[in-house]
Structure 1
Amino acid sequence: MRRFLTGCLAASALAVAFPASASECGYTSAGWNAPNGAVVFSRSDDGPIRDVIDAIGEFRTHSMLSHGPSGGVTHATMRDPDENDWPTVCGTPLKANQLQYGYPGLEQINQGGIYHYLYEDNGQGPDWTAWQLGDPAGAASIADNLWFNHAYVTDISRVDSSQIIDRPLWNGERVPYSLYQYKDLETSHHIPGSAANNGMVCSTFLAYAHHYAGRGFVSEYTYPHEVIANASNAVHWGVHGQCKESLGWFKNAALTVICPVFWNVCTNAGNQVANCMSANRCDTSSSVIWKRVRDDPNTTATSISPDRIGGWSVHPVSTTLWASDYSHQLQWNSGGNVYGCWQ
């Protein structure tokens, strides 16, 4: 039997702002009101993820599997990749391996951990949160199969060594957060399945979990070329703009001095993230790669978004067992305190 846990970014200097919170560990009320097996959705200013979701005309930016008010949470997320050292930072601002194999990836954390993933120390959190359950028995079977039957390894938190975080395995390996899943989820929603980087994102993991528990195959959705072209532009310019705003004195006092004048570090950061999402090329800031995808009229994207998991936007309510439900307000409302970390 699985043990119970006891009680998706840290910012880099470039501050690209992937899904995250400023505080990785802390306390919260003992539990949220999302039942075992419910999917918890949120909409946050999640940097390039929010840029993609807005560009395709959808709403939810993150999705998580609840193991009940007093239980854990399974989700896939990543912290901000670190910037490279000089002089590499000038041409390739972000560490490619961290961008391609997002940490922590697929993980199981407790209520303290998920609260501090969603809410920063200053009290700012998601713009919106809710949960959906649908078929209670079927949803509970998904959560229980992931919690009790699925292979996993145990990690020590990078922030607090007293805390342990479980990481479900896929194909015998840990599951990083893979930005390429937004372009092509490949067969991550199949049993068995595979994907570039052995990676998933929050919603493709939930499609996998739905199928793994025997609750049915979750079909993918193909986005037309004009939509992904818009998304490519949004990712590039979104990262560029966030980088410009976040560097502040660092940009003016450091990078403009140590980098040649022809290097635009924030443009390169935008190119690097766009390349990673569109072509799984996370090691280069050449604009040719993502623009080739953007400008090819035959190029589409095939994935499963949080909105599709929940049966919203253009997605039917028959897609998953959760999708037949409406959105319930998420609250932390049980007694006591739980301490935990999300990375």
Structure 2
Amino acid sequence: MRRLLVGSVAVSALVLAGAAHAEGECGSTSAGWNAPNGAVVFDRSNGPIRDVLDAVGEYRTHSMLSHGPGSTVSHATLATPTQTDWPGVCSKPINGFDLRYGYPGLEQINQGGIYMSLYGDGTGPEWMGWQQGDPTQAALIGDSIWYNHAYVTDVSKHDSGQYLDRPVRNGARVNYSLFQYRDLQSTHQIPGDAVNGGMVCSTFMAYAHNYAGRGVVTPHYYSHAQIANASNSLYTGVYNECKASLGWFVNAALTVACPFSNVCGNAGNQVANCMSANMCDTADGRYWKSVRDDPNATAASISPDRVGGWGVHPINNTIWGPDYSHQVQWNSGGNVYGCWQ
């Protein structure tokens, strides 16, 4: 039987909320969650992913595959990307490589790790819930990813005595790729692939569903008006958090360190470029604006709401969709220490 492996998060001045939950890297939980094996656990948290999904009328911001009450969790997430070295940080605040090839990406961690991922910043999600659907079908998904899928083991960046499993695809670790929100390509297919070797939380859930033989989760196609609104919302959200030294930019003080640069505008451009055009290493706003202003530009992706069959999304697209949302409770036994990167 595989070891129960864990991970932690590196914390720098940039804090990516929503896609990544920071500041607590490692810690313990006195009880594990109640989500059954194969259930998908959803949350709604602040950050740039919420800005995008709110703009297209969707609610959930993150999705995770539970391997049972008090057991391990598989999910795709993005830890804090590093800053560009001085003085380049003023014109391009975020390391473009870290933004494009997000770490840790797809990982498997224990209850201590996922608790710190969700609550390590001292606030936690606004909402959480789980859906299982058919228990037998759901368990096949949980077991297939946990027992049958190829993986490698990495040492935690913050606790050398802790480890995390990282499932591999096409022989490589799976990165977190923001471009998945614009175009998931064939991530949901078997064998499938995508640029940056990447997934996000919900495209991983679609992949897991298909990998276990439960069927293809079809993507949703977003109109030009929707992606234009989402692009504006993403840029504005990052800009405002930077100006207020919140979220991504807690304690960064970049506006003080770079008094003659529009550092917050540069940060907003860089993230919007990355998500809309997969151009993560430039803060030239013309790239995301060219997508926003192209009437033929659309998007195809699978969001957490689509995984759960919420809103405009059909409930029969996944085995989880027909279920209603159950409250996540931390009431299974044990005191588990873990990290999430």
Instruction: Give the match's secondary structure for 2:3.
Output: coil
What CA distance in whole angstroms lies between the structure 2 residues aligned with 1:166 and 1:55?
A: 34
Equivalence for 2:102: 102
Matched residues in 2 for 1:7 and 1:321: separation?
A: 29
Counterpart residue number, 1:21: 22
SS of the equivalent of 1:235 reads: helix
Describe the shift of the 1:314–1:121 C-alpha distance in structure 2 as closer, same or farther (beyond 3 A): closer
Measured after TM superposition, the shift of residue 112 of structure 1 is 0.3
Distance in 2, matches of 1:310 and 1:151, equals: 26
Matches of residues 197-276 of structure 1 in structure 2 within 5 Å?
Answer: 197-246=196-245, 250-251=253-254, 253-256=256-259, 261=260, 263-276=261-274
Paired residues in the alignment total 336
Structure 2: how far apart are the matches of 1:34 and 1:106?
19
For 1:284, give the aligned amino acid: T
What is the CA-CA distance between 1:3 and the residue it aligns to? 3.0
**Cα pair 1:8 1:79 within 8 Å, conserved:** no
C-alpha separation in 1, matches of 2:230 and 2:340: 29
In the aligned structure 2, how far is the partner of 1:334 from the partner of 1:249? 38
Matched to 1:40, the amino acid is V
Assess if the C-alpha contact under 8 Å between 1:175 and 1:199 holds in 2: yes
Confirm or deny: 8 A CA contact 1:75 1:205 kept in the other structure: yes
| Secondary structure of 1:66 counterpart | strand
Q: Which amino acid aligns with 1:87?
A: P
Secondary structure class of the residue paired with 2:316: coil
CA separation in 1, counterparts of 2:134 and 2:208? 15
Distance verdict in 2 for CA 1:254–1:87, change over 3 Å: same
SS in structure 2 opposite 1:131? strand
Equivalent position SS for 2:318: coil
Distance change >3 Å, CA 252–CA 314, structure 1 → 2: closer
Distance apart, 1:83 and its partner CA: 1.1
Secondary structure of the residue aligned to 2:272 is helix
Measure, in 2, the Cα distance between the counterparts of 1:48 and 1:293: 18
Residue matched to 1:148: 147
What does residue 89 of structure 1 align with? 89
**3-state SS of 1:243 partner:** helix
SS at match of 2:29: strand
Provide the C-alpha distance between the structure 1 equivalents of 2:187 and 2:252, rounded to a whole number of angstroms. 42
Cα deviation for residue 120 of structure 1 reads 2.5
Match of 1:27, SS state, is strand
- Offset at residue 48 of structure 1 (A): 1.2
What is the CA-CA distance between 1:15 and the residue it aligns to?
A: 4.1
- Name the SS of the counterpart of 1:155 in structure 2: strand
Please give the alpha-carbon distance, in whole angstroms, between the structure 1 residues aligned to 2:209 and 2:316.
Answer: 13
Q: 1:214 to 1:175 in 2, by over 3 A?
A: same
Task: Give the alignment's TM-score, normalised by structure 1.
Answer: 0.94
Kindly, what percent of the aligned residue pairs are identical? 64
Structure 1 residues not aligned, in runs of 5+: none
Residue pair 1:131, 1:329 contacting (<8 A) in 2 also:
yes
1:56: which partner in 2?
Answer: 56
TM-score (norm 2): 0.95
Instruction: Identify if the C-alpha distance between structure 1 residues 231 and 317 changes in structure 2 by more than 3 Å, giving closer, same or farther.
Output: same
Task: In structure 2, list runs of 5 or more residues that go unmatched.
Answer: none
Q: State the 1:171 CA deviation.
A: 0.8
Question: In 1, distance between residues paired with 2:301 and 2:210?
Answer: 15
Residues 230-275 of structure 1: CA distance to partner in whole angstroms, max 9, x if unpaired? 000011111111111116782454221xxxx2x2111000000000
CA distance in 2, matches of 1:307, 1:56: 11
1:5 & 1:327 partners in 2: Cα distance? Answer: 28
User: Aligned to 2:332, what secondary structure does the other structure show?
Assistant: coil
CA distance in 1, matches of 2:270, 2:252: 23
How far apart are 1:129 and its partner, in Å? 0.2
Aligned to 2:50, the other structure's residue is in SS state helix
Tell me if 1:127 matches 2:126: yes
